[in-house]
Amino acid sequence: MEIYQLRAFVTAAKLGNVTRTAEALHVTQPAITAQIKALEEELGVALFDRRPGRISLTRAGEALLVDAEQVLTAAGHLLGKARELQGEVTGTLQIGTVADPDSLRLGSLLGGLVRALPLLDIKTRGGLAEELRDQVGAGLLHGAFYIGPHIPREVAGLSLQTLHYRIAGPFSMRQQLLHAGWRDIAAMPWIGAPVQHHAQTLLKDMFARQGLVPHQVVECDEAAAPLALVRSGVGLTLLREDVAVPASERDEVVVWPHARVGALLSFIHPRSAEHDPAIVATLSVLRGIWGLG
């Protein structure tokens, strides 16, 4: 039994697709298939049910997945200890980023890491919150910034800041908005985001608590600048409070006064990377930047 076979098993279990697993682990699809087949033969059980374009865990696979993850976690701890003994941290650190760099204090983080670990090759990869969570959980990213109601259970993380979001609408709808209730708000035109975007998760959860579904007329990503779409009269959206309130003070938008949605900005990483020197250093720099002690 080899570590790379266990990693192929765990990654395939999380992604549910051999092709995506091969891409994530930077090997060929036949290699992934061979690794999983060899592991199944050694264990004497079938780990996956195979269907065209998708695989799913068998009952045996489900029963063994937690143990396989624990072995990978232990291997990660061992590797981290070995790197500590080497004295110099080398290799690559890939960090996922969400939202704008300034709100993450990304420049301060990267500057601190370059000074602390000059031999480390540091790369950033932008993405949507839930995509980054999946990639960190599968061990495909060393760490990532994440925005959501809480730190996901399948990963470890460091809480950085509580963010607040407000419902903002076009200034032309001022009177209508200020006299609206939840049902009225839900029925108005909404600017949404891709399903794996943190703003969309917060939006759906907010209305679900009221037993409502917002009337979404447009889906836009971060590059489309939701604030600009609200200003132009397209509809309502959730905006970070530090963006929405100044815009309302300039009479560019109207903030509905009856809702304030909280979310957690955190830095997440695989549990298996808890003792990895690069992650230890990253968390240390983050604590300094965010004044976490």
> Model confidence at 273, in pLDDT bands (50, 70, 90)?
confident
* Nearest CA-CA partner of 252 in 226, 216, 218: 226
Residue 14 shares a structural domain with residue 133? no
CATH code at position 71: 1.10.10.10
From 23, 55, 85, give the residue that closes a domain: 85
Which range, of 122-131, 205-214, 217-226, averages the lowest pLDDT?
A: 217-226
Rounded-to-integer distance, Cα 210 and Cα 57, Å:
36
**Predicted local confidence at residue 189, as pLDDT:** 97
Is residue 18 predicted with pLDDT exceeding 90? no
Q: Given pLDDT bands bounded at 50, 70 and 90, which one contains residue 284?
A: very high
Spatial separation of the C-alpha atoms in residues 137 and 109, rounded to whole Å: 22
Q: 102-132, pLDDT tens digit by residue?
A: 999 999 999 999 988 888 899 999 999 999 9
pTM as predicted: 0.73
Band the pLDDT of 142: cuts 50, 70, 90. very high
Asked if residue 78 has pLDDT above 80, the reply is no
Could you tell me if 181 and 288 lie in one domain? yes
Residue 197, exposed/middle/buried by CB under 10 A (0-12, 13-18, 19+)?
buried
- Tally the domains of the chain: 2
Contact residues for 290 (Cβ-Cβ < 8 A; gap 6+): 105, 160, 161
